[in-house]
Chain A
Amino acid sequence: MDKLPEGVIEPRWIAGSPTLGQVTADIARPMEGKPGKLWYVLFAIALLGLLDLLGMATYLIANGIGVWGLNNSVGWAFDITNFVFWIGIGHAGTLISAILLLFRQKWRTSINRSAEAMTIFAVMCAGLFPLLHMGRPWDAFFIFPYVPNQHGPLWVNFRSPLVWDVFAISTYFTISLVFWFLGLVPDFATLRDRAIGKIKKLVFGVLSLGWNGSHRTWSRYEIVSLVLAGLATPLVLSVHSIVSMDFATSLLPGWHATIFPPYFVAGAIYSGFGMVLTLLILTRQSMNLQRYITMRHLDSMAKVLLLTGSIVSYAYATEFFSAWYGGNIYERYHFINRATGPYAFGFYLMVLCNVLAPQLFWFKRIRNHVGALFAVSILVNIGMWFERFIIIVVSLHRAFLPSGWGMFYPTLVDIGILVGSFGLFFTLFLLFIRYMPMIAIWEVKGVVTDQQHMAHPSAETIGTAGAAGIPAPAGAAGMEHHHAE
């Protein structure tokens, strides 16, 4: 929705009409004041989780993969499930920051910063598992092509999806990190100007790369962000497609499916938005930012969930159909086993969370009820984790030769590491909302100015409005800067 027909009022993404200074003050508050009790409680819990992760990982590396519940039939279970899960989580961030930027979706402004942060932290969690799941993690560097080496030279196997993963994920992480940091620069400048105390000033000074809010800077900035957005956009599709090929290129019934790439991408965005919703509701309530993260934000994210959830459900149906229609006995048995075998409970849990739960969002009352949204978002997270578990474990535990059939039972270490990865994620995220502007100040200001322009309409197109509105905050920041002196 680039342009609106005459007479229609542009939807308001910020409640009330705060002054620009007020916006800065609101968003900078958590960084300058003390956080609420809730933050401390959450942080303590997250920290415990992180410690658990460290302990478990040490135990794992000291003893060997045997401490997990894996066996000759099931070579992957929680490890790769968690990996795919976390990679998936990441996708919402990139989607919001890149694609929605290209489409000039202004509602993203309040949420993109935290969403991007979430992406980075999620990818960090994900990156942990390929390392941990190796039998000999100390030789992990074998999977990087390093020449010249003394082995002749010895190369990596470019046919192996695991090698593609290495490239995909490292690229993904780099781009996301750069994009995120770039978005932070103007805000760092603002903070630098507000900062009291030498150290803060120095830190923010360095981080803001000597930003001066001149028009020239802004226009270049705009271009760079667009370019980066262009670079990031294909990643949204490519990364999870490649991850899905870990399975699609194998010959296992349940893995060997051509629909995996789109199916996984949809699933990734679905789970990602689920997580964004969870996080935003948490921050919104704990940091009382209701003004900037409005019900309308939550509402539109619910709609995205509804859409992607439906795509995922369609993919499930397709899998069953092709299994039946393809007539491959192994494939057919696999899907019968999926629905009736020893892991059926997981399958139905998955259906409940990923197929039925999002359908609630057809109703506006549910989309506008924070409690309900939160509950569903949790369900989505659970459901998507189980989806990966079903795909991986159920396919492996009963493959071609019945003599090789077995069962996977998780051990405490399996569960401990899963919990621990959440510990790592939330530790990072909580630190982020405590010490960094978790909402893009300058972008919000853009929206605010638009809204004021809306109040007395002008011929300005929204596209340029973003840019036109921008110098103001810098100016404002400048004034505050003088006050500080």
Chain B
Amino acid sequence: MRPLMILLGAVIVVAAAVIGVQHLFRMGMQQGYAPAQPIAFSHKLHAGDNQVPCLYCHYGARSSRHAGIPSSSVCMNCHNILEKQTVEIERFKEAAQLDRPLVSWVKVHNLPDFVYFNHSRHVLSGVACQSCHGEVEKMQRIEQVMPLTMGWCLSCHREHAGVPTNTLERAALRFSETPKPKTGLDCASCHY
């Protein structure tokens, strides 16, 4: 009887500890974050059904650190000639004419602090938008699919640098022979 109680207690304590620690490590992660947007813009409709290329609207991603959210004027390139009109499209037209920002979007993909992520560098090296943003063309409302943590970034960088992603393997590697250092794995490639 008594030992049973003790055992039970121990189990509960351990479980609580494990869960708590796991949560602590996940602190600040926003996987699955899908806020409502001021305008119900559907990527499924645009990128999916109508096959508008990502880089048409997010042209910054080709040349800049920032992918950028398109200006109303960019929207108008198509919507001027499309007859289908909605209240929200009207708001865009107005915005473009008045040269005044109307919409303030809710940012979905927020990296951890003090990371410099360069869109152009990744786009130009052929990383598909989906590999970080998920299958946007299937999303009515944008959701953060990937964890966007440092470990997650590194796993990809390590793969491409030919370094084992598994901690233990890496540790073993250290002892046998030093791998040729890769720029993509330097702290200063993202933190400066």
How far is A335 from B159 in the complex, measured between Cα atoms in Å? 53
Complex: chain B residue closest to A147, CB-CB: B167
Number of B residues, CB within 8 Å of A: 11
Q: How far is the CB of B137 from chain A (nearest CB, A)?
A: 28
Q: Is the CB of A149 within 8 A of B151?
A: yes
The answer to whether A154 and B150 touch (CB under 8 A), given A148-B25, A149-B25, is: yes
Complex: chain A residue closest to B27, CB-CB: A150
How far is A150 from B23 in the complex, measured between Cα atoms in Å? 11
- Encoded as 1 (CB less than 8 Å from any A CB) or 0, chain B from 48 to 66 comes to 0000000000000000000
Q: Is the CB of A151 within 8 A of B167?
A: no
Q: How far is the CB of A210 from chain B (nearest CB, A)?
A: 14
Q: Is the CB of A152 within 8 A of B25?
A: no
Q: How far is the CB of B117 from chain A (nearest CB, A)?
A: 15
- Residues in chain A near residue B147, CB distance under 8 A: 150
Number of A residues, CB within 8 Å of B: 8
Q: Does B154 contact A (CB under 8 A)?
A: yes
Q: How far is the CB of A239 from chain B (nearest CB, A)?
A: 28
Q: Does A16 contact B (CB under 8 A)?
A: no
- Residues in chain A near residue B152, CB distance under 8 A: 150
Q: Is the CB of A150 within 8 A of B151?
A: yes
- Residues in chain A near residue B25, CB distance under 8 A: 148-150
Q: How far is the CB of B113 from chain A (nearest CB, A)?
A: 13
- Residues in chain A near residue B155, CB distance under 8 A: 152
- Encoded as 1 (CB less than 8 Å from any B CB) or 0, chain A from 141 to 162 comes to 0000001111111100000000
Considering the complex, which residues of chain A in the window 139-198 have a beta carbon less than 8 Å from any beta carbon of chain B? Answer: 147-154
Considering the complex, which residues of chain B in the window 148-192 have a beta carbon less than 8 Å from any beta carbon of chain A? Answer: 149-152, 154-155, 167
- Residues in chain B near residue A151, CB distance under 8 A: 149-151
- Residues in chain A near residue B154, CB distance under 8 A: 152
Q: How far is the CB of A27 from chain B (nearest CB, A)?
A: 35
- Residues in chain A near residue B151, CB distance under 8 A: 149-153
- Residues in chain A near residue B29, CB distance under 8 A: 150
- Residues in chain B near residue A148, CB distance under 8 A: 25, 167
Q: Is the CB of A150 within 8 A of B26?
A: yes
How far is A150 from B152 in the complex, measured between Cα atoms in Å? 8
Q: How far is the CB of A266 from chain B (nearest CB, A)?
A: 37
Q: Is the CB of B167 within 8 A of A150?
A: no
How far is A151 from B29 in the complex, measured between Cα atoms in Å? 12
- Residues in chain B near residue A154, CB distance under 8 A: 150
Q: How far is the CB of B142 from chain A (nearest CB, A)?
A: 22
How far is A152 from B155 in the complex, measured between Cα atoms in Å? 7
Q: Is the CB of A153 within 8 A of B149?
A: no
Complex: chain B residue closest to A141, CB-CB: B24
How far is A446 from B25 in the complex, measured between Cα atoms in Å? 53
- Residues in chain B near residue A150, CB distance under 8 A: 25-26, 29, 147, 149-152
Task: Find the residue from B25, B149, B155 having the highest chain A CB count within 10 A.
Answer: B25
Q: How far is the CB of A229 from chain B (nearest CB, A)?
A: 30
Q: How far is the CB of B3 from chain A (nearest CB, A)?
A: 16
Q: How far is the CB of B172 from chain A (nearest CB, A)?
A: 15
How far is A149 from B152 in the complex, measured between Cα atoms in Å? 11
- Encoded as 1 (CB less than 8 Å from any B CB) or 0, chain A from 309 to 324 comes to 0000000000000000
How far is A261 from B150 in the complex, measured between Cα atoms in Å? 39
Complex: chain B residue closest to A146, CB-CB: B25
How far is A154 from B184 in the complex, measured between Cα atoms in Å? 16
Q: How far is the CB of A142 from chain B (nearest CB, A)?
A: 14
- Encoded as 1 (CB less than 8 Å from any A CB) or 0, chain B from 63 to 106 comes to 00000000000000000000000000000000000000000000
Task: Find the residue from B26, B155, B167 having the highest chain A CB count within 10 A.
Answer: B167
Complex: chain B residue closest to A151, CB-CB: B150
Complex: chain A residue closest to B150, CB-CB: A151
How far is A150 from B155 in the complex, measured between Cα atoms in Å? 11
Complex: chain A residue closest to B154, CB-CB: A152
Q: How far is the CB of B148 from chain A (nearest CB, A)?
A: 10
Q: How far is the CB of B20 from chain A (nearest CB, A)?
A: 13
- Encoded as 1 (CB less than 8 Å from any A CB) or 0, chain B from 6 to 47 comes to 000000000000000000011001000000000000000000
- Residues in chain B near residue A149, CB distance under 8 A: 25, 151
Q: How far is the CB of A212 from chain B (nearest CB, A)?
A: 19
Q: How far is the CB of A201 from chain B (nearest CB, A)?
A: 22
- Residues in chain B near residue A147, CB distance under 8 A: 167
How far is A154 from B154 in the complex, measured between Cα atoms in Å? 11
Complex: chain B residue closest to A154, CB-CB: B150
Task: Find the residue from A147, A150, A151, A154 having the highest chain B CB count within 10 A.
Answer: A150
Task: Find the residue from B147, B151, B155 having the highest chain A CB count within 10 A.
Answer: B151
How far is A7 from B154 in the complex, measured between Cα atoms in Å? 78
Q: How far is the CB of B110 from chain A (nearest CB, A)?
A: 15
- Residues in chain B near residue A152, CB distance under 8 A: 150-151, 154-155
How far is A153 from B167 in the complex, measured between Cα atoms in Å? 8
Chain B positions within 8 Å of A, measured between CB atoms, are 25-26, 29, 147, 149-152, 154-155, 167
Chain A positions within 8 Å of B, measured between CB atoms, are 147-154
Query: 7 tightest A-B contacts by CB?
Result: A150-B149, A152-B154, A152-B151, A151-B150, A150-B151, A152-B150, A151-B151
A-B contact pairs, 23 of them (CB 8 A): A147-B167, A148-B25, A148-B167, A149-B25, A149-B151, A150-B25, A150-B26, A150-B29, A150-B147, A150-B149, A150-B150, A150-B151, A150-B152, A151-B149, A151-B150, A151-B151, A152-B150, A152-B151, A152-B154, A152-B155, A153-B151, A153-B167, A154-B150
Additional 11 contacts, C-beta under 8 A, given A148-B167, A149-B25, A150-B25: A147-B167, A150-B26, A150-B29, A150-B147, A150-B151, A151-B150, A151-B151, A152-B150, A152-B151, A153-B167, A154-B150
